[in-house]
Amino acid sequence: MSIRVRVNGVEQELDVDPEMPLLWALRDVLGLTGTKYGCGQALCGACSVHLDGQVVRACVTPIRRADGREVTTIEGLSPDGGHPLQRAWVELGVPQCGFCQSGQLMCAAALLAKKPQPTDADIDQSLAGNLCRCGTYTRIRAAVKKAAGVPDSK
Amino acid sequence: MASVVFLASAGGCRRQPDSEAARWESLPPVDARELRSLDMFQRIEDPAQRSRALFLETSRVYLHPRCSNCHPDGDSPYQDSGEMLHNPPVTRGPEDKGVVGMECTGCHQERNLELARVPGAPNWHLAPRSMSWVGKSPRQLCEQLKDPARNGGKTLEQLVEHNAHDKLVAWGWAPGSGRQPAPGTQARFGELVAAWVATGAQCPSEEVRP
Q: Are residues A72 and A100 in the same domain?
A: no
| A114 in reach of chain B (CB within 8 A) | yes
| pLDDT score of B16 | 55
Q: Is A101 inside any structural domain?
A: yes
Q: Is A41 in contact with B100 (Cβ distance < 8 A)?
A: no
CA distance A150 to A153: 9
Residues of B in contact with A55 (CB under 8 A): 100-103, 106
Q: How far is B134 from chain A (nearest CA, A)?
A: 23
The minimum CA-CA distance between A80 and chain B, rounded to whole Å, is: 23
Residue of A nearest to B103 (CA): A55
Grade residue B17 by pLDDT with cuts at 50, 70 and 90.
low
A7 and A46 co-located in one domain = yes
How far does A83 lie from chain B, in Å, by closest CA? 18
ipTM of the complex: 0.95
Can you give the CATH number for the domain in which A15 is found? 3.10.20.30
For residues A30 and A88, state if they share a domain.
no
CA distances from A119 to A25, A43, A136, B76 (A): 35, 24, 18, 19
Half-sphere exposure of B102 (CA within 13 A, CB side): 29
Comparing CA positions, the residue from B188, B199, B89, B184 lying closest to residue B142 is: B199
Are A19 and A62 contacting, i.e. CB atoms less than 8 angstroms apart? yes
> Mean pLDDT of all residues in chain B?
92
A111 contacts B106? CB cut-off 8 A: no
Residue-level pLDDT at B8: 38
In this structure, the answer to whether residues A44 and A97 fall within a common structural domain is no
**Per the CB < 8 Å rule, is A129 touching B91?**
no
In a domain, B163, yes or no: yes
Q: Which amino acid, residue B147?
A: D
**How many domains, chain A?**
2
Position B51 scores a pLDDT of 98
In a domain, B67, yes or no: yes
Q: Is residue B185 part of a domain?
A: yes
- B42 falls within a domain: yes
For residue B106, give the nearest of A41, A55, A125 by CB distance. Answer: A55
Assess B85–A contact: CB distance below 8 Å, yes or no. Answer: no
A50 and A100 inside one domain: no
Among candidate residues A54, A76, A98, the one where a domain is terminated:
A76
Same domain, A97 and A138: yes
A53 with A89, same domain: the answer is: no
Interface test with B, best of A19, A125, A140 (most B CBs within 10 A): A125
- A48 and chain B: CB distance < 8 Å anywhere? yes
Residues A94 and A60 in one domain: no
Residue A98 domain boundaries: 84-148
pLDDT band at B6 (very low <50, low <70, confident <90, very high): very low
Q: Is residue A24 part of a domain?
A: yes
What pLDDT score was predicted for residue B74?
A: 95
- C-beta atoms of A60 and B102 within 8 A: no
Residue A97 shares a structural domain with residue A116: yes
Which of A 50-109 lie inside 8 A of B, CB atoms? Answer: 54-57, 59-62, 65, 107-108
A–B CB contacts, 8 A cutoff, strictly below: 69
Question: What chain A residue is nearest to B91 in terms of C-alpha separation?
Answer: A125
Which CATH number goes with the domain that contains A100?
A: 1.10.150.120
Nearest to B101 among A41, A65, A110 (CB): A110
Cβ contact (<8 Å) for B116 and A56?
no
Q: Which residues of chain A have pLDDT under 50?
A: none
Q: Does residue A154 fall inside a structural domain?
A: no
Task: Compute the average pLDDT of residues B128-146.
Answer: 96
- Our count of domains for chain B comes to 1
Q: Are residues A72 and A128 located together in one domain of the fold?
A: no
Q: Is residue A29 part of a domain?
A: yes
Instruction: Indicate the pLDDT class of residue B1, thresholds 50, 70 and 90.
Output: very low
pLDDT, residue B23, reads 87
Q: Is residue A153 part of a domain?
A: no
Tell whether B153 lies on the interface with A, counting CB pairs under 8 A. no
The answer to whether residue A37 is domain-embedded is: yes
In a domain, B96, yes or no: no
Q: Is residue B90 part of a domain?
A: no
What percent of chain B is modeled with pLDDT above 90? Answer: 87
B35-80 pLDDT, tens digit per residue, is: 999 999 999 999 999 999 999 999 999 999 999 999 999 999 999 9
